[in-house]
């Protein structure tokens, strides 16, 4: 079983005033939790639990004009979860201007008929872009930076019984090609930050806040859509995926900072494991260290290394004479390090009985995928 969130845009602008009113009431509950929690901590040196907050906020739903106590309870529970997660005594204050609208609900309190969702006595029409794929558990109404409202439904989804993919793939995350698989397939897209930088700069200089937000939203949507398509394609092909543990925080301090942020490796890392799980595959982290410098055919440290070696896209190993494409070689090593056939420090493959270095499979020439 896994949980999948379906997100739909809400159609009418007229219904937004109800959503704004409810979001305001929820901010009020959140700020109350924050304040009363802080007072309790100062007095007793102990945090209030979700149960304490439920008792303190009981019976307020009528005054706050929220459907039921469950929404208020959900806000209290969420507050406690976030406080524990981020280990903060005082959480940020939710205000209409600063925080995007958020209204959580439970499945029992909403009704979805055709393209209309009914909640708290109000009807909201959606752009039902695709049908729900599973049983509805919980959900929420949320607002984005452009002020648009969405409804999110979290559904229980059944996982595939048998692995859909057949391959074992090592995956190298990079900047020239965002993703390279060990079987030679590469996935790349244009650098969005570079593509939109001129129009963005123009909008910012002209103080056009709305336009700036729209450009940022466009970039986010393109990036997310591309990542979804690519991760789904990989999850369908492979039963084992090993992703390199390249650190974007380290690279963000180099001249490659902009490209690193644009590559958004975090999205891939987040999407691939759950897609793998749905298709009965496995996605694990592998070692990135020495993956470029090691020859994936003989294991010698003969490849390009350091900042100077970054421009080298293809190279020939002087020890075994095999020609390598930089990223494919790295992806093959990431898979090999994981399976124990080689180690990052020594780089010498552990040969099985009767196996010769020369007979190890030679990497295929890279194939570009649009
Ligand atoms: Zn070699």
Q: How far is the CA of 313 from the centre of ligand 1 (A)?
A: 16
Question: Which residue carries 């007072």 as its tokens?
Answer: 39
Q: How far is the CA of 318 from the centre of ligand 1 (A)?
A: 7
Q: How far is the CA of 258 from the centre of ligand 1 (A)?
A: 33
Confidence (pLDDT) at 370: 42
Which is nearest to 246 in space by CA: 275, 289, 208?
289
What is the CA 293 to chain-centroid distance, rounded? Answer: 29
Q: How far is the CA of 323 from the centre of ligand 1 (A)?
A: 8
Bridge-based pairing state of the strands 282-286 and 238-244: parallel
Q: How far is the CA of 180 from the centre of ligand 1 (A)?
A: 20
Confidence (pLDDT) at 363: 43
Q: How far is the CA of 357 from the centre of ligand 1 (A)?
A: 9
Q: How far is the CA of 288 from the centre of ligand 1 (A)?
A: 18
Instruction: Quote the crossing angle between the two packed helices 192-205 and 209-237, to the nearest 10°.
Output: 170
Residues in the chain, total? 370
Q: How far is the CA of 319 from the centre of ligand 1 (A)?
A: 5
The b-or-e profile of 78-100 (16+ CB within 10 A means b, else e) is: bbbeebeeeeeeebeebeeeeee
Confidence (pLDDT) at 307: 66
Strand partners, 241: 169, 283
Q: How far is the CA of 343 from the centre of ligand 1 (A)?
A: 15
Indicate the pTM of the whole model.
Answer: 0.77
Confidence (pLDDT) at 109: 84
Which is nearest to 38 in space by CA: 28, 51, 47, 29?
47
Q: How far is the CA of 299 from the centre of ligand 1 (A)?
A: 6
SS3 per-residue string spanning 221-234:
HHHHHHHHHHHHHH
Q: How far is the CA of 302 from the centre of ligand 1 (A)?
A: 7
Q: How far is the CA of 324 from the centre of ligand 1 (A)?
A: 9
Q: How far is the CA of 294 from the centre of ligand 1 (A)?
A: 8
Confidence (pLDDT) at 317: 82
Confidence (pLDDT) at 130: 87
Q: How far is the CA of 167 from the centre of ligand 1 (A)?
A: 24
pLDDT in tens, the chain (370 residues): 888 899 999 987 778 888 888 888 889 888 998 888 888 888 888 888 888 888 888 777 777 777 666 788 888 888 888 888 888 777 778 887 788 888 888 888 888 888 888 888 888 999 988 888 888 888 999 998 888 899 999 998 888 888 887 888 889 888 888 889 888 888 888 888 889 999 999 999 999 999 999 999 999 999 999 999 999 999 988 888 888 888 778 777 877 888 888 888 888 888 998 888 888 888 888 888 888 888 888 777 877 876 666 777 888 888 787 888 888 888 888 888 776 555 555 544 444 445 444 444 444 444 444 4
Q: How far is the CA of 300 from the centre of ligand 1 (A)?
A: 6
Q: How far is the CA of 338 from the centre of ligand 1 (A)?
A: 19
| CA atoms of 26 and 142, how far apart (whole Å) | 12
Q: How far is the CA of 303 from the centre of ligand 1 (A)?
A: 9
Residue 194 DSSP class: H
Q: How far is the CA of 187 from the centre of ligand 1 (A)?
A: 25
Q: How far is the CA of 345 from the centre of ligand 1 (A)?
A: 15
Q: How far is the CA of 41 from the centre of ligand 1 (A)?
A: 62
Q: How far is the CA of 320 from the centre of ligand 1 (A)?
A: 4
Alpha helices in 155-207 (DSSP H): 192-205
- Could you tell me the two tokens for 196? 């939109």
The b-or-e profile of 22-31 (16+ CB within 10 A means b, else e) is: bbebbbbbbb
Q: Give me the DSSP letters along 52-86.
A: HHHHHTTT-HHHHT-S-HHHHHHHHHHHHHHHHHH
Q: How far is the CA of 317 from the centre of ligand 1 (A)?
A: 5
Q: How far is the CA of 176 from the centre of ligand 1 (A)?
A: 24
Q: How far is the CA of 301 from the centre of ligand 1 (A)?
A: 8
Q: How far is the CA of 268 from the centre of ligand 1 (A)?
A: 30
Q: How far is the CA of 107 from the centre of ligand 1 (A)?
A: 58
Residues of the chain with CATH 3.30.420: 161-370
Confidence (pLDDT) at 351: 45
Instruction: Provide the CATH number for the domain formed by 161-370 in this structure.
Output: 3.30.420
Q: How far is CA 265 from CA 40, 196, 280, 285, 320, in A?
A: 41, 19, 23, 13, 33
Q: How far is the CA of 331 from the centre of ligand 1 (A)?
A: 15
């Amino acid at each position: 079983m896994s949980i999948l969130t379906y997100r739909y845009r809400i159609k009418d602008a007229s219904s937004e005033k109800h959503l704004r009113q409810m979001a305001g009431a929820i901010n009020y509950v959140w700020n109350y939790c924050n304040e009363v929690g802080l007072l309790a901590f100062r007095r007793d040196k102990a945090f209030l639990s979700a149960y304490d907050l439920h008792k303190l906020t009981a019976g307020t739903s009528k005054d706050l004009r929220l459907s039921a106590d469950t929404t208020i309870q959900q806000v209290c529970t969420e507050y406690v979860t976030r406080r524990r997660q981020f280990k903060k005594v005082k959480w940020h204050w939710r205000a209409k201007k600063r925080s995007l609208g958020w209204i959580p609900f439970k499945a029992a309190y909403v009704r979805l008929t055709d393209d209309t969702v009914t909640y708290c006595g109000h009807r909201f029409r959606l752009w039902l872009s695709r049908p729900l794929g599973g049983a509805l558990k919980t959900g929420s109404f949320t607002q984005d930076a452009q002020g648009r409202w969405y409804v999110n439904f979290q559904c229980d989804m059944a996982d595939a019984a048998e692995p859909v993919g057949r391959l074992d793939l090592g995956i190298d995350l990079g900047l020239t090609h965002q993703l390279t698989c060990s079987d030679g397939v590469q996935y790349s897209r244009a650098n969005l930050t570079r593509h939109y930088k001129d129009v963005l700069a123009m909008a910012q200089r002209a103080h056009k806040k709305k336009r700036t937000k729209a450009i940022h939203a466009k970039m986010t949507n393109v990036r997310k859509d591309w990542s979804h398509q690519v991760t789904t394609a990989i999850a369908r092909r492979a039963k084992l995926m090993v992703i390199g543990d390249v650190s974007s925080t380290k690279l963000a301090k180099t001249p490659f900072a902009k490209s690193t942020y644009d590559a958004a490796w975090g999205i891939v890392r987040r999407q691939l494991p759950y897609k793998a799980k749905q298709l009965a595959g496995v996605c694990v982290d592998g070692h990135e260290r020495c993956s470029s410098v090691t020859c994936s055919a003989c294991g010698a440290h003969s490849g390009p290394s350091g900042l100077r070696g970054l421009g080298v896209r293809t190279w020939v190993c002087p020890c075994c004479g095999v020609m390598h494409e930089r990223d494919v070689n790295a992806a093959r090593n990431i898979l090999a390090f994981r399976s124990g056939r080689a180690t990052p420090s020594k780089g010498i493959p552990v040969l099985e009985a009767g196996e010769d270095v020369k007979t190890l499979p030679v990497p295929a020439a890279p194939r570009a995928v649009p």
